[in-house]
Structure 1
Amino acid sequence: MSEPTVQDVADWWATAVSRVEPDVIELRGRPIQELIGTTSFVGVIWLLLRGALPTDGQQRLLEAALVSSVDHGPHAPSIAIARMAVTCGIGLNGAIASGVNTLGDVHGGAGEQCMELLAEVHRRGPDLDAATAAVVAEWRDRVRYLPGFGHRFHRVDPRRDPLLGLVRESVSAGVVDGAYLRAAEAVERNLAAGRTRPVPINVDGLTAVVYGELGFAPPLARGLFVLSRSVGILAHAWEEAGQGRRNKGPMPPSVLPKFLTT
């Protein structure tokens, strides 16, 4: 076997995302100096993930979804863990990483899962209600909670109506197709049938609709949620850092955990 060459190493790290050379920084072929001051942070997220800049309508929808997920209070595990972590002396970067690392299948993964659910409903068409009934029944055989619907704190998620309104406006304007929206509405109807209290779509389901309508792959729903929630994690960690606590635990020192006998 011949010795590796410089070209072999260059090919090993080949990327279309960015080009960085002496005096050159390009993102997807666009010089950074042309993006600074002219392109929003959300626009650059789209550019890096998709390879081109979004339209105004696409950017508006993506920004709305990112804003909707930034924070859900210190009782959210990702926030609570970040607040405890920063009191252990690991700094903001470690606290943010600690919080982000809790965003798994249960806390943080529902958007990705809901995208898969809605895509399955859409694929089963054209009778949307029949397709929904079949898909919901199959999912209920596998999971305890249907991802993206209902909320343990909110009877109706306060983020529901603004996001639904924006998606509906985008469908009317031709920005997006509406397939994920129609699937989500069909699931919501299915879950409400025969109940006195409906099971409305929540923020995970709503962002799944947005990301699906915008053409993102389901795994990116979780990645984008991580970007969004990192903002709240940072704010909470920074607030906690300013309060001067050391080794903050999940309960005040005056509250002792219950001892269980075996």
Structure 2
Amino acid sequence: MRTKLQPTTSIATSDANSIIVRGQDLVEDLIGKVSFTEMFLLQLTGKRPPAAHVRILDAVLVTLMEHGITPSVIATRLIYHSAPDALQAAVAAGLLGVGTTFIGTMEGCAGLLEEMMTAPEGLEARAHAIVIRHKEAGKAVHGFGHPHHKPDDPRTPRMLAVANGEFISGRYIEALKVLSGQVDAVYGRHLTINATGASAALLGEIGIPQKVMRGVAVVSRSAGLVGHILEESLKPSAAFIWETIDEAIPYEAE
């Protein structure tokens, strides 16, 4: 009979008098002494973060929180209209849109940057191969292009400037810039580094693993969706959206 391994957790424990999170006493060490962003980094990394890392993550969270009436916001408003007693369901509906087309593309971009950084042939050669691979497959390069922000996404230079101001400008940012040059060269036109591309580089620089980067977008967008729910309760638009779609898409017999 095989012996089962005993699972453990290094995140939190509690007893009748205390709650310990990542080795810190929640009451004595954390409440009123750290910001939400610091707590988020502590939760992810197990260590109290340096101030520069907090400012970088803050920049990403602020950037990704809001972008207008996007598909995820529409989903949230419609579900809130259907079930106003279940705010969490409306937020969950919107978060389901954090994927490989919108918002969550930082995960894919980070994977490309890490592929470049570990390539024996160097950044430039691997970046060229990556872009050729995507072009031949008819796939967008994650982190590049935007339907509205042209020729450049205004958020990206500001985000990179924040990193530079904190003296955090290392291999991920270098790889992103090299990849950007190859995207433009292979496609024969300029494609902006979008906010998720910049987010991938910044989060990589502060040690956030690629496999949980999409979770940063989930945390940020959750707050944005709650704001839309409040506005929906005060200035409803879901019924108008529904009626507009109903009128705009006619029935057609097959």
TM-score where L is the length of structure 1: 0.86
- Give the structure with the higher percent helix: 2
Query: What is the rounded CA distance, in whole Å, between the counterparts of 1:212 and 1:245 in structure 2?
Result: 38
1:145 and 2:140 aligned: yes
Count of residue correspondences: 248
1:28 and 2:48 aligned: no
Deviation at 1:58, TM superposition (A): 0.9
Q: 1:225 maps to which residue?
A: 217
Query: What is the rounded CA distance, in whole Å, between the counterparts of 1:220 and 1:189 in structure 2?
Result: 27
Query: What is the rounded CA distance, in whole Å, between the counterparts of 2:108 and 2:16 in structure 1?
Result: 42
1:239 and 2:231 aligned: yes
1:193 and 2:188 aligned: no
Aligned partner letter, 1:204 = T
Which ranges of 4 or more aligned residues in structure 1 deviate by more than 6 Å? none
Deviation at 1:106, TM superposition (A): 2.0
Q: 1:135 maps to which residue?
A: 130
Deviation at 1:231, TM superposition (A): 1.1
1:73 is paired with a residue of what secondary structure? coil
Deviation at 1:235, TM superposition (A): 0.3
1:78-117 map, 5 Å: 78-89=72-83, 90-117=85-112
1:53-75: CA deviation from partner (whole Å, max 9, x where unpaired): 1101111111111111001111x
1:167 and 2:163 aligned: yes
Q: 2:149 maps to which residue?
A: 154
- Runs of 5+ unmatched residues, structure 1: 2-7
Q: 1:4 maps to which residue?
A: none
- Runs of 5+ unmatched residues, structure 2: none
Pick closer, same or farther for the CA change 1:99–1:232 going to 2, 3 Å. same
1:165 is paired with a residue of what secondary structure? helix
Q: Greater shift after overlay, 230-239 or 185-194?
A: 185-194
Q: Greater shift after overlay, 42-51 or 152-161?
A: 152-161
Q: Greater shift after overlay, 159-168 or 245-254?
A: 245-254
Deviation at 1:261, TM superposition (A): 4.1
**Identical aligned residues as a percent:** 28
Query: What is the rounded CA distance, in whole Å, between the counterparts of 1:244 and 1:144 in structure 2?
Result: 37
Query: What is the rounded CA distance, in whole Å, between the counterparts of 1:221 and 1:194 in structure 2?
Result: 27
1:19-65: CA deviation from partner (whole Å, max 9, x where unpaired): 12212112111111221111010000000010011101111111111
CA contact (8 A) 2:74 2:238 kept: no
Deviation at 1:193, TM superposition (A): 2.4
Query: What is the rounded CA distance, in whole Å, between the counterparts of 1:255 and 1:143 in structure 2?
Result: 34
CA contact (8 A) 2:232 2:238 kept: no
Deviation at 1:245, TM superposition (A): 6.6
Query: What is the rounded CA distance, in whole Å, between the counterparts of 1:253 and 1:137 in structure 2?
Result: 39
Deviation at 1:251, TM superposition (A): 4.2
Q: 1:38 maps to which residue?
A: 33
CA contact (8 A) 1:88 1:248 kept: no
RMSD: 2.4
Pick closer, same or farther for the CA change 1:144–1:20 going to 2, 3 Å. same
Deviation at 1:257, TM superposition (A): 1.4
Query: What is the rounded CA distance, in whole Å, between the counterparts of 2:48 and 2:218 in structure 1?
Result: 21
